[in-house]
Amino acid sequence: MTRHRTDVLVVGSGAGGATTACVLAEAGLEVLVVEEGPYVAQGDVVPFSLEQMQRQYRSGGVTAAIGFPSIAYTEGRCAGGGTEVNSGLYRRPPEETLDRWRREHAIDDFDTGELYDICDEVEKELSVQLVPGAATPASEVLRRGAAGLGWRHDEIPRWMEYPDGGAAEQGRRRSMTETYLPRAAAAGARLLTDTRVERLARGGRRARRAEITTADGQRGSIDFDHVVVCAGAIQTPALLQRSGLRGRIGTSLAVHPTVKLAARFDQRVNIPDDVPVQQVKEFAPDLSFGGSASRPGLVALALSDDWRRFGSAVTDWEQMAVYYAAITSQGRGRVVALPRLRDPLVTYRLTTRDRALLGRGLARLALVMLEAGATDVYPCYRGAPVVRQRADLATLQATFATSKASVMTVHLCSTVPFGGRDSRSAADSVGVVRGTDNVRVNDASLLPDAPGVNPQATVMAIAIRNARRFAAERRHG
């Protein structure tokens, strides 16, 4: 039985936890960061590989939400969280989204200028930039297809460093283990990896102690004055619920559901270690298209919805790449921690409009592929036609149903929405969980809905804002 003690406990070390730890430690607070996953340095595993999925993702890569249809999702589970393993695509929160959140959720003192100033800092720290050299061929496919149709498209910057004039695949990720975690450590924060927080013991409105289990099964505890939960939009509400906090926690999960296709070209397009940086934004925010990781195994996975008919194409994986269509969903989901189960039950329900938009999105994405010169397009659902010409798109739309498709999401948020509305806010305007005095949330769970863009820039900006408010309060209080 190991016992720790700290002033501030930060649970989780991803985009929310690492930035929170850094701000608080640099403000002079005593900080202990607890991370369930292992510490894996950038460069130790091959990006988008099976080994990475096993070591740095929860449950080896894929978890499914129960619902109609079931929706698969992934969560990073390692020091640095999702920033270590995802595409590194960085997009500031749109001004309209921030305005809407401020208005509809009555978030107090939520200033767009302040958030954008924080974005400036983050962009410098993470070396957010466009690819100086050549984009990958799979990225070029999106650009060419969209340009041919006259559809808006652009390159999304990433948290990457490149050698002078370097090509896309020469980038080195400026993830949390390269940036905010070392900064936090330099300011005195401690990081405890391979350690899971099981629950927070509370007395009334205050939580005082975290019960922990290490990866090798050792139990222990951490006493603290304050806790900031940054375990991601699934694990954060689950931990709060296991700690007896319910109310609006976990009742409004928002995601960007996606459907995929694999496209084959008559020349090589596949660079296994990298993902496209182009996105097609003609229909944003309702609908966006981008490129997915396309290692041979992932190409095979994309063809597996109709393996009997599509499987043989995998031998041409070098000429193939996987793409997605993502929507802003009107549906909502729930996260419910169940007694004695390690992972919570996650449910999500798509609306009629969501299902129609996924089908239309997949067809429009297939049109981009044809325009870019794809010879064969394999949509990812059972019974899909191979699309070779525009007339085949009618068959695609006539046969698509979300119940036959692998609907997938990576942008999970909104399970502890913040703001000043009694009817919907689970945390106050700086992330203090309602009904508590010293339990904070500071990750994607706070976002009132899915922002329609890659959300991690928003997560970092809001986390830094809230952490600064907290540090200022501690200094004056």
Single out the residue of 175, 243, 234, 164 nearest to residue 204, CA to CA. 243
Alpha-carbon distance of 253 to 447, in angstroms, equals: 10
**Least distance (Å) between residue 141 CB and other proteins:** 17
Of 106 and 356, nearer to other proteins (C-beta) is: 356
- Tokens for 202, please give them: 């509370």
Write down the least CB distance from residue 162 to other proteins, Å: 34
- Neighbouring-strand partners of residue 169: none
**Structure tokens that stand for 404 in this block:** 């036959």
Compute, in degrees rounded to 10, the torsion defined by CA atoms 360, 366, 370, 375. -150
| Minimum CB distance to other proteins smaller for 100 or for 202 | 100
One DSSP character per residue, 396-414 reads HHHH--GGGB-EEE---B-
Structure tokens at 234: 């699934």
Whether 411 is a known active-site residue: answer yes
101 membership: H or E segment, kind and range: helix 95-105
- Which residue's CB is nearer to other proteins, number 364 or number 440? 364
Q: Which residue, 21 or 146, has its beta carbon nearer to other proteins?
A: 146
Binding site for other proteins (CB under 8 A): 149-151, 282-283, 286, 353, 356-357, 360, 363-364, 366-367, 371, 390-391, 393-394, 396-398
Closest CB 296 distance from other proteins, rounded Å = 29
Catalytic residue among 226, 256, 411, 476: 411
Nearer to other proteins, 1 or 398 (CB): 398
Please provide the size of the chain in residues.
477
**Buried b or exposed e, range 380-416, using 16+ CB within 10 angstroms:** bbeebbbbeeeebbeebeeebebebbbbbbbbbbbbb
Q: What's the min distance (Å) between Cβ of 325 and other proteins?
A: 12
The nearest distance, CB 153 to other proteins, in angstroms, is 13
Structure tokens at 436: 């508590």
**Separation of alpha carbons 472 and 382, rounded Å:** 55
Q: Which residues are catalytic?
A: 411
